[in-house]
Structure 1
Amino acid sequence: MERVIVEKINSHLELNNLISDHQHGFRKNRSTISQLVVIHDYIQSALDRGIPMDIILIYLLKARDRLPLRKLIHCLEVHGIKGKLKIGSQHT
């Protein structure tokens, strides 16, 4: 059931262009490895051109682990994800 819900939410976000193209985690045909490849290429390109660079890494926890449920539901509703899940339908 969780996989069905995730697929519905991801489909909604993709169809409505609510996910940045820079997002790699939890996306079809993308992963943390593909993100690392993009970052590596970006850094290598800058170094090849002699551009100085600082890197700041930020570890973000999963929203469901830290965000109160009411706020999470509100965020989902703001982005058009609300109501009852309709299994077998194209709508979330």
Structure 2
Amino acid sequence: MVIVEKLNSPLKLNNLISDHQHGFRKNRSTVSQLVVIHDYIQSALDHGIPIDIILIDLLKAFDRISLRKLIYCLEVYGIKGTAKKLTLSILE
């Protein structure tokens, strides 16, 4: 939890985390996100509003990130030291 907080603090400070973000946030999870989506879809269907859903797999997204730009962004938003090293280790 310490690592998540070290990453989240600068992101919150710079208003980079949307209120719609559920992963890696306190008291939120992928399950809470699914509940929100389910309720939204159910409400729309109850009111006769058509729904389109687009699912995107971002698993390969990190293959396309410029490491130099990522390092720059991490530093600009105050993510340094161990938190920065751990974030970059994901790309190895």
TM superposition score normalised by structure 2: 0.71
SS at match of 1:27: coil
Q: Which runs of 5+ in 1 are unaligned?
A: 86-92
What is the CA–CA distance in structure 1 between the aligned matches of 2:79 and 2:9, rounded to whole Å? 14
Kindly state the Cα deviation for residue 13 of structure 1 after the two structures are TM-superposed.
1.5
Q: Which runs of 5+ in 2 are unaligned?
A: 83-92
Higher share in helix? 2
Kindly state the Cα deviation for residue 36 of structure 1 after the two structures are TM-superposed.
0.3
How many residues in Structure 1 have an aligned counterpart in Structure 2? 81
SS at match of 2:59: coil
What is the CA–CA distance in structure 2 between the aligned matches of 1:22 and 1:62, rounded to whole Å? 22
Runs of 4+, deviation exceeding 4 Å: 82-85
- The aligned residue for residue 14 of structure 2 is 16
- The aligned residue for residue 88 of structure 1 is none
Kindly state the Cα deviation for residue 4 of structure 1 after the two structures are TM-superposed.
3.8
What is the CA–CA distance in structure 1 between the aligned matches of 2:60 and 2:2, rounded to whole Å? 19
- The aligned residue for residue 51 of structure 1 is 49
Letter of the aligned partner of 1:70 in structure 2?
A: R
What is the CA–CA distance in structure 2 between the aligned matches of 1:5 and 1:43, rounded to whole Å? 34
- The aligned residue for residue 28 of structure 1 is 26
- The aligned residue for residue 78 of structure 2 is 81
